């Protein structure tokens, strides 16, 4: 049985800035997770007009008032999901209670089947937001780094999944206007995958109040990302250990 590589606290978290202050800022919070919130509300509230009202009211409350922040550890994703769901329930109760109408819509909202479907939507949309932010961070890294092609080569792989390295290198060469050999393309891809894995880990850590190695791994598993990242994270750890060993074995002659 294959043993899953662990994410070591020091190697994985030492360079991660847990930007919980970003989540504290209502405006930035809305921009970061608005698509996930909108889809989740739509899954909870079947009437499109009601869903739009719930979403607008929630965003308005967040931008006008300080969003309550849970103390201690835990996943912000779970807390946010509960807050959005409560906003949907409160909206329907407030708008339908005075009317002599059937409460089937409200009952459907809290039914197990409806909630289970909405939970799946929430997880999928949160995962999508997380990946899009990590992908954008990879592009920004490439833009800042001369000669870096991380975003370009991974995008080339996505768009041409059946091409081999030689063909992909040729396509990339035509795109960037300079020669790129197949071996160089493969190296760029390997490094890009490792960096993207690190960026995803960082994004996950930023959604945890006090991220630990265990919590990060659990969140990656919950979002169905661990199986895709574990090998790249393990490779990054091996490279770090090799660099550390090489540095410690080299006499310090800088002083």
> pLDDT digits over 186-210, tens only?
999 999 999 999 999 999 988 887 7
Asked, for residue 133, whether it belongs to a domain, the answer is yes
Asked, for residue 2, whether it belongs to a domain, the answer is no
Residue-level pLDDT at 238: 85
145-149, 159-163, 230-234, 241-245: which range is least confident on average? 241-245
Asked, for residue 212, whether it belongs to a domain, the answer is yes
Query: Does 13 score more than 70 pLDDT?
Result: no
Residue-level pLDDT at 253: 35
Asked, for residue 3, whether it belongs to a domain, the answer is no
Q: What's the domain range around 131?
A: 18-236
CA dist 239 and 101 (Å) reads: 65
Of 99-103, 109-113, 209-213, 249-253, the range with the highest mean pLDDT is 209-213
47-68 mean pLDDT:
83
CA dist 218 and 211 (Å) reads: 11
C-beta neighbour count of 65 within 10 angstroms: 9
Asked, for residue 82, whether it belongs to a domain, the answer is yes
Asked, for residue 255, whether it belongs to a domain, the answer is no
17-21, 60-64, 113-117: which range is least confident on average? 17-21
Asked, for residue 37, whether it belongs to a domain, the answer is yes
Asked, for residue 254, whether it belongs to a domain, the answer is no
Report the number of distinct structural domains present in the chain. 1
């Amino acid at each position: 049985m294959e043993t899953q590589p662990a994410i070591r606290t020091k190697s994985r978290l030492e360079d991660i800035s847990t930007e919980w202050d970003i989540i504290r800022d209502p405006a930035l919070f809305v921009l970061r997770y608005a698509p996930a919130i909108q889809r989740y509300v739509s899954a909870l509230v079947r009437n499109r007009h009601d869903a739009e009202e719930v979403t607008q009211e929630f965003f308005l409350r967040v931008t006008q008032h300080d969003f309550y922040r849970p103390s201690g550890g835990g996943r912000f994703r779970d807390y946010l999901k509960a807050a959005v769901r409560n906003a949907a329930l409160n909206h329907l109760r407030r708008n339908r209670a005075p009317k002599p109408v059937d409460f089937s819509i409200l009952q459907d909202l809290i039914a197990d089947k409806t909630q289970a479907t909405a939970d799946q939507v929430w997880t999928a949309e949160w995962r999508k937001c997380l990946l899009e932010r990590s992908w954008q961070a990879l592009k920004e890294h490439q833009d800042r780094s001369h000669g870096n092609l991380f975003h370009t080569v991974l995008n080339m792989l996505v768009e041409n999944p059946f091409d081999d390295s030689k063909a992909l290198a040729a396509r990339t060469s035509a795109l960037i206007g300079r020669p790129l050999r197949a071996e160089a393309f493969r190296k760029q891809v390997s490094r890009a995958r490792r960096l993207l894995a690190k960026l995803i880990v960082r994004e996950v850590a930023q959604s945890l109040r006090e991220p630990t190695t265990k919590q990060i791994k659990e969140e990656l598993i919950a979002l169905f990302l661990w199986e895709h990242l574990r090998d790249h994270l393990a490779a990054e750890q091996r490279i770090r250990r090799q660099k550390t060993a090489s540095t410690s074995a080299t006499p310090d002659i800088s002083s």
